[in-house]
Chains A and B, each alone.
Chain A
Amino acid sequence: MNKTMKEDVSIVLSGEAGQGIQTIERLLTFILKREGYYVFATKEYMSRVRGGSNSTEIRVSSKPVKSYVDKIDILIPLTKSSVEHLGDRVNEDTLIIADNDSLKLENKNLFNVPILSIAKEIGNEIYANIVAVGVILGLFKINIKTIEEYLRERFGDKGEKIVSDNIKAASEGYKLGKDFSENGEIKIEISANETLKDDLLISGTDAVALGALAGNCDSIFSYPMTPGSGVLVDLANFSKNFDILVEQAEDEIAAINMAIGGWYAGARSMVTTSDGGFALMEEGLSLAGMIESPLVIHLAQRPAPATGLPTRTAQEGLNLVIHSGHGEFPRLVFAPGNLEQAFYLTQQAFNIADKYQIPVFILTDQFFVDSYYNVKKLDLSKIENKKYFVETGEDYKRYDLSKAENGVSPRGIPNFGKGLIIVDSDEHDEEGHLTEDLDIRIKMVEKRLQKYDALKDDFVSPEFFGNRNYKYLLVCWGSNYNVVKEAIENIDNKDLAMLHFSQVFPFPENAVEFLENAEKIIDVENNATGQFAKLIRAETGIKIDSKILKFNGMPFSVEELTAKIREELQ
């Protein structure tokens, strides 16, 4: 059996929760990136701590890869059921490298590698994942010294025995992989580029958390909920190096009220959660609206309603964030499409929230936060933070109408200046005291809503990709940026273009021209009802009839989306 793979290889490792699939993902992507490859990794997993079937897809390429593919070139199953779990994605082109003495698989493309027995010989079945890492790195003929170096860095603090066992496991696997490569059975031909070793390799979670840090976030209050809690964990780790107050709240209701309390005292606070957690925070959002508090909310979506599919992906939270909270008050919703956007938009979110005294959302999803790929650079020279609170005088009034510009009255904070800072969830007068004066009510509502006009001047424009003389316009938002882009590149049709929205609300007005210029608009979303298409209709009157919707909990794959777009073009 001979097989040659060129330019772009998709490797999938699959096993039970607890078998170290995530460790493999980390090790392989980092080592391969260091060796000068473009990598992309994403995982899918079940909502359990042990057992089940989880997998990680690692794409390795000579050009940037940032999206999920169905095809599996090489599969390394650590359990028998994982092959079945992956279903149609395992086909006659898929090579399977497995310990078949224990798994007993029947497949003509099978390479029997005694992964488990090697691990047992080293001392523990737990090393099976590291042996598998070794096999793959052997196929790529990575310098064994690089692997040793990395394992030493990674496991160094766990003691010499652990390090040497890991190195042994990797080396044994490595020899076997290299043999397959040298005897021509499996050939991988991807050109490496030395300069890529300086790329960053970060996940969506990292991008949001680093963006928060860059936006001067100094406090995070959250209740853990998959897939949003990664940002809480990241910031907790960053708090070893930076001044961040991290508190795990007793529930989501506490978390959002804490974040609002933090902003009241002048801190830059955020919460991170998922749709279900945010549902609990809704009243707090409304409080932020009433007292005109800045607030930053990261919401990583997952399939709902209720507990839904806790570890899968979706874009079902758009209506929730746009319509949540009782009453009428302004808000802004960012939905970053790639890691760079996630970093810069999260950083900006803190300043926009502060400037306009409104809640700002960063809307991501499970697929987005759990995906990794090469990022050239995060440019910190662009970073500008401004704290908008003012030193108050004795006659300070929190909701001073005479000093309000675009509905924004200067925000004071306690004990900074001579003024008193009074806020109330009731309708209030200029000082902040509760009132039932209905004339003041009208003035305050108008003041708050006036911010929408100012926000419209400050929107983040949608990103256009493709030929300017397009006939067909693919409309997408959030995490579908990369997959739509790759599908367009595959189709290579000059009539086709993409418009991606990283600010979904308020709806950017300059998008209208793009929409009107299309002969046909095709909406791409990970939900069942086309929430964004409906928003476009509500905001612009433009009705989108063609929709490509996916809502089974998995992201669009490049092949699937390419095929569906082709159908729409006929």
Chain B
Amino acid sequence: MSERKNIFSLENEKELDIAWCPGCGNFGILNILKKALEEMEEITPNNFVLVSGIGQAAKIPHYFKNNAFNGLHGRALPVAFAIKSTNPDLYVVAESGDGDMYGEGGNHFIHNIRRNVDITNIVHDNRVYGLTKGQASPTSQQGMVTPVQVNGVILNPFNPIAVAIANGATFVARAFVGDIQSTKEIIKKAIRHKGYSLIDLFQPCVTFNKINTYAWFNEHTYKLGEDYDPSDKMQALQMAFQEDKIPLGIIYEEKGKPTFEEQLTIYKQNKEPLFKRNIDVNKLEGFINSMR
């Protein structure tokens, strides 16, 4: 293990001008993800791609040593989907904030769950828009006063866990950055899970969310016990609706469901990624001639 220590760290890590506020939950996620990857022998900076959208959380690929695609607001999932489905040899993690994944990218969130492509989706959920200075996010709780929602949030909070389970996601977890050990294990399991996996990862925004603080998350969450059976879908759905005390851990897991890419005929006989393939011009010629 020791030779893998820091393999995901940039050489100039110490001089990095990181855009996050001191105390931001994103630092914790960055460190936990690095540790998780270091512990996964099958993953290297080369066969791993971190895809993100826009926002403070979306800057995470820049503080890592790996392949990175920092694209457009809300569009991390279509990009991650295409990278994985055109080259299944790669490990692909799509990582961004709650605004990016559930707001701007809500349509992609729903449909990539349905695709069940083998990617991991880590959502930094701080229940507020940080980069644009504190407006409500899809997960902001009702009543929260913001510069825009001046009389408090009226909208129902988006329930990512329930939406994911209802749409057929095969791995749905909730984690809190304050619990380093459990979060790291969940990330490892999510990446190793075959199919789409969601981790809704609580992280405080120390500047703009004065409600959902470290203390609040500590007080309002609990860890699912050893006896919890994540394969029970109905029970998992019930967990998704627990609000006073929010369960942390793998809430739902379904094993053995075929992934998107496993079902593609292009990979049935030939496992090679698409970049290695070339059109057979003779075959094409025969095909065109058969259209006469």
Does the CB pair A210–B82 fall under 8 Å? no
Contact stretch, chosen from B57-65, B131-139, B150-158: B57-65
Does the CB pair A383–B281 fall under 8 Å? yes
Residues of B within 8 A of A251 (CB): 107
A421-B81 contact given A265-B273, A269-B86, CB 8 Å threshold: no
**Bound complex: CA of A378 vs CA of B287, how far in Å?**
12
Q: Does B30 contact A (CB under 8 A)?
A: no
Does the CB pair B111–A198 fall under 8 Å? no
Does the CB pair B69–A264 fall under 8 Å? yes
Give the interface SS of chain A, mostly helix, strand, loop or mixed. Answer: mixed
Min CB–CB distance B148 → chain A (angstroms): 23
Q: Does B68 contact A (CB under 8 A)?
A: yes
**Bound complex: CA of A525 vs CA of B273, how far in Å?**
43
Min CB–CB distance A224 → chain B (angstroms): 15
**Bound complex: CA of A425 vs CA of B73, how far in Å?**
10
Min CB–CB distance B30 → chain A (angstroms): 15
Min CB–CB distance B13 → chain A (angstroms): 13
Does the CB pair B71–A287 fall under 8 Å? yes
Does the CB pair B288–A210 fall under 8 Å? yes
Identify the closest chain B residue to A256 (Cβ).
B78
**Bound complex: CA of A268 vs CA of B279, how far in Å?**
11
Q: Does A261 contact B (CB under 8 A)?
A: yes
Min CB–CB distance B97 → chain A (angstroms): 15
Does the CB pair A258–B78 fall under 8 Å? yes
**Bound complex: CA of A319 vs CA of B273, how far in Å?**
37
A258-B46 contact given A267-B274, A385-B278, CB 8 Å threshold: no
Q: Does A432 contact B (CB under 8 A)?
A: yes
**Bound complex: CA of A218 vs CA of B266, how far in Å?**
10
Residues of B within 8 A of A424 (CB): 62, 68, 70
**Bound complex: CA of A244 vs CA of B89, how far in Å?**
17
Min CB–CB distance A117 → chain B (angstroms): 36
Min CB–CB distance B125 → chain A (angstroms): 22
Number of interface residues of A (CB under 8 A): 65
Q: Does A422 contact B (CB under 8 A)?
A: yes
A414-B46 contact given A254-B107, A261-B83, A264-B83, CB 8 Å threshold: yes
**Bound complex: CA of A553 vs CA of B67, how far in Å?**
48
Min CB–CB distance A222 → chain B (angstroms): 12
A258-B288 contact given A245-B264, A416-B275, CB 8 Å threshold: no
Residues of A within 8 A of B79 (CB): 257-258, 260-261, 264
Contacts of A359-399 to chain B: CB distance below 8 A: 378, 380, 383, 385, 387, 389
**Bound complex: CA of A216 vs CA of B277, how far in Å?**
9
Q: Does A433 contact B (CB under 8 A)?
A: yes
**Bound complex: CA of A414 vs CA of B47, how far in Å?**
7
Residues of B within 8 A of A244 (CB): 266
Number of interface residues of B (CB under 8 A): 52
Contact stretch, chosen from A74-82, A235-243, A441-449, A458-466: A235-243
Q: Does A232 contact B (CB under 8 A)?
A: no
Min CB–CB distance B169 → chain A (angstroms): 16
Q: Does A278 contact B (CB under 8 A)?
A: no
Q: Does B168 contact A (CB under 8 A)?
A: no
Residues of A within 8 A of B107 (CB): 250-251, 253-254
**Bound complex: CA of A414 vs CA of B80, how far in Å?**
13
Does the CB pair A200–B288 fall under 8 Å? yes
**Bound complex: CA of A196 vs CA of B278, how far in Å?**
32
Q: Which of B45, B72, B265 contacts A425 (CB 8 A)?
A: B72
**Bound complex: CA of A506 vs CA of B273, how far in Å?**
34
Q: Mark A212-240, 1 if CB is under 8 A from B, else 0.
A: 01101011010000000000000000110
Does the CB pair B72–A284 fall under 8 Å? yes
Contacts of A403-430 to chain B: CB distance below 8 A: 413-416, 418, 420-426
**Bound complex: CA of A221 vs CA of B85, how far in Å?**
11
**Bound complex: CA of A259 vs CA of B85, how far in Å?**
11
Q: Which of A216, A287, A389, A413 contacts B279 (CB 8 A)?
A: A216
Does the CB pair A380–B288 fall under 8 Å? yes
Does the CB pair A261–B78 fall under 8 Å? yes
Residues of B within 8 A of A387 (CB): 275
Does the CB pair A266–B274 fall under 8 Å? yes
A266-B273 contact given A219-B86, A415-B87, CB 8 Å threshold: yes
A415-B89 contact given A200-B292, A243-B266, A433-B62, CB 8 Å threshold: yes
Residues of A within 8 A of B110 (CB): 250
**Bound complex: CA of A213 vs CA of B80, how far in Å?**
24
Does the CB pair A245–B274 fall under 8 Å? yes
Q: Does A173 contact B (CB under 8 A)?
A: no
Q: Does B285 contact A (CB under 8 A)?
A: yes
Residues of B within 8 A of A294 (CB): none
Q: Does B90 contact A (CB under 8 A)?
A: yes
Does the CB pair A265–B72 fall under 8 Å? no
Does the CB pair B274–A218 fall under 8 Å? yes
Q: Which of B83, B264, B266, B291 contacts A265 (CB 8 A)?
A: B83
Min CB–CB distance B274 → chain A (angstroms): 4
Contacts of A157-199 to chain B: CB distance below 8 A: 197-199
Q: Does B49 contact A (CB under 8 A)?
A: yes
A216-B46 contact given A266-B87, A269-B86, CB 8 Å threshold: no
A-B pairs with beta carbons under 8 Å apart, 14 shown: A200-B292, A221-B82, A243-B277, A247-B85, A261-B78, A262-B274, A265-B82, A266-B87, A266-B274, A267-B87, A415-B67, A415-B90, A422-B61, A423-B70
Given contacts A199-B292, A219-B82, A423-B70, 11 further A-B contacts (CB under 8 A): A201-B292, A219-B274, A250-B111, A266-B87, A267-B86, A291-B71, A380-B288, A420-B45, A420-B65, A422-B61, A424-B70
Residues of chain B whose beta carbon lies under 8 Å from any beta carbon of chain A: 45-47, 49, 51, 54, 59, 61-62, 65-72, 75, 77-83, 85-87, 89-90, 107-108, 110-111, 264-266, 270, 273-275, 277-279, 281, 283-285, 287-288, 291-292
| Leading 5 A-B pairs by shortest Cβ distance | A266-B275, A261-B82, A261-B79, A267-B86, A250-B111
